[in-house]
Amino acid sequence: MLAAFDLAMSLLNNMPDSKQHGSDVDVDENVDFDADDDHDIPIDLLATIKYPGHSRPITNYFGITKFLQYREIRMVLMPLCLFVVERTGFHFAYDPSIRKISVDDAAIKFDLADLRPAITNFLHCEDTHGRDHVHTIGGARRAGPAASLPFDTLQVWFKLRLQDTEFHDISIIRPAQTLNCAPPSDPWTSGRYDTVIINNDAGCLWPTSGLRGHTIGQIRLIMHPIGKSGTNWSWKDRFLVYVHRFDIVPQSSGTNDREPSTQLHLLKRAKRSNGTWVGDIIPVMQLRSPVNLVPRFGASAV
């Protein structure tokens, strides 16, 4: 998985200088959640492909990254903004939505009280198992709220684009879809946090393995940490994501985990023993495909 990731080349050397440096909380207030984020791909790198039912060709992230593997590299800036992992293509806008924010301010803005200990646990897991480790969502918290980190500030993205293949025919590339992860603002006064299928087992592939070795999660923060000067940190060239986990509700009618009347999986938020939602930090490259959830309202809401 990591080898495929590392082969993908950065688009950043084709773009103007980034506006990374700013105030302690440097926010782009003009985020258009309905905009086509593929507009920042240079025309000489743009690859398209026909897709049934679409009158115009769609952007092909897989084709772009394959082309970039053989392109002469004079300078590669980090983090990579367009890459492919297995059968999922990822594309981030060149400039982050928040160019600079402290970890603690991000925790407040995105209502993630355990952000600092979650990052600490992630880094501890990396030190223990190595950077190729596939992270799971859940488990005991070892770090406290005042845990020390090798970085103080983050860059934050309010959305990213994912491209995958048809579930029943992996040779067909689907149009890219947007995953939103934005804090409360007008008109989304409760924030805008989309759900996604996440790989949590290196031995399982999406979509071949179905949900085996995968889980459903709601993304709550997309970030790229900015390391302290002189600090060696192995994830300086990666995006990370904080995710809240959903669990599939077992059904009593036989071995099928689908709800009998709808033949859909019934999900509920995973909770810790103290009642808080289960969330953790994982590498963004463990995301696989957007998924739409239908809420259940009323007394039986889960």
In angstroms and rounded to an integer, the radius of gyration of the C-alpha atoms of the chain is: 19
pLDDT at 7: 37
Q: Measured between alpha carbons, how far is 165 from 293 in angstroms, rounded to an integer? A: 20
Give every CB contact of residue 6 below 8 A, 6+ residues apart in sequence: none
The number of CA neighbours under 13 Å toward the Cβ of 134 is 14
State the pLDDT at residue 4: 39
Contacts of 252 (CB under 8 A, 6+ apart): none
**Sign of the four-CA dihedral 144, 277, 282, 39:** negative
Q: State the average pLDDT for the chain.
A: 82
Q: Which two tokens stand for residue 288?
A: 């696989």
Amino acid at 292: N
Return the minimum-mean-pLDDT range out of 19-23, 94-98, 257-261. 19-23
Confidence tier at 136 by pLDDT (50, 70, 90): very high
Instruction: Give me the mean pLDDT over the 35-53 stretch.
Output: 69
Measure the CA angle with vertex 240, ends 235 and 241; round to 5°.
165
Residue with more model confidence, 170 or 36: 170
Q: How large is the average pLDDT for residues 130-139?
A: 89
For 139-198, the pLDDT digits (tens) are: 888 777 788 888 889 999 999 999 998 888 888 999 999 999 999 998 889 999 999 999
Q: What confidence tens digit (pLDDT) does each residue in 276-297 have?
A: 999 999 999 999 999 999 887 7
Q: What is the pTM of this model?
A: 0.83
**Predicted confidence (pLDDT) at residue 74 exceeds the cutoff of 70:** no
Long-range contacts of 81-84 (CB under 8 A, 24+ apart): 81/10, 81/11, 81/12, 82/8, 82/10, 82/11, 82/41, 83/5, 83/8, 83/285, 84/4, 84/5, 84/8
The pLDDT tens digits for 88-129 are 999 999 899 999 999 999 999 999 999 999 999 999 998 888
DSSP the chain: -HHHHHHSPPSGGGSPPP----SSSEE-S---TTS-GGGGS-TTT--EE--TT-SSPEE-HHHHHHHHTTS--S---SS-SEEEETTEEEE--SS-SEEEEEHHHHHHHTT-TTHHHHHHHHHHHHHHH-TTPPP-S-----S-TT---SEEEEEEESEEEEE-B-SS-TTSBPPPEEEEEE-S-SS-TT-EE-EEEEE--TT--TTTTTTTTEEEEEEEEEEEEEEPTT---TTTT--EEEEEEEEEPP-SSSS--EETTTTEE-EEE-B-TTSPBPEEEEEGGGEEEEE---PPPSTT--
Segment 36-42 shows an average pLDDT of 61
Which pLDDT score is estimated for 268? Answer: 93
- 132 vs 180, which has greater pLDDT? 180
State the CB neighbour count (10 A cutoff) for residue 81.
22
Q: Which residue has the tokens 């103007």?
A: 16
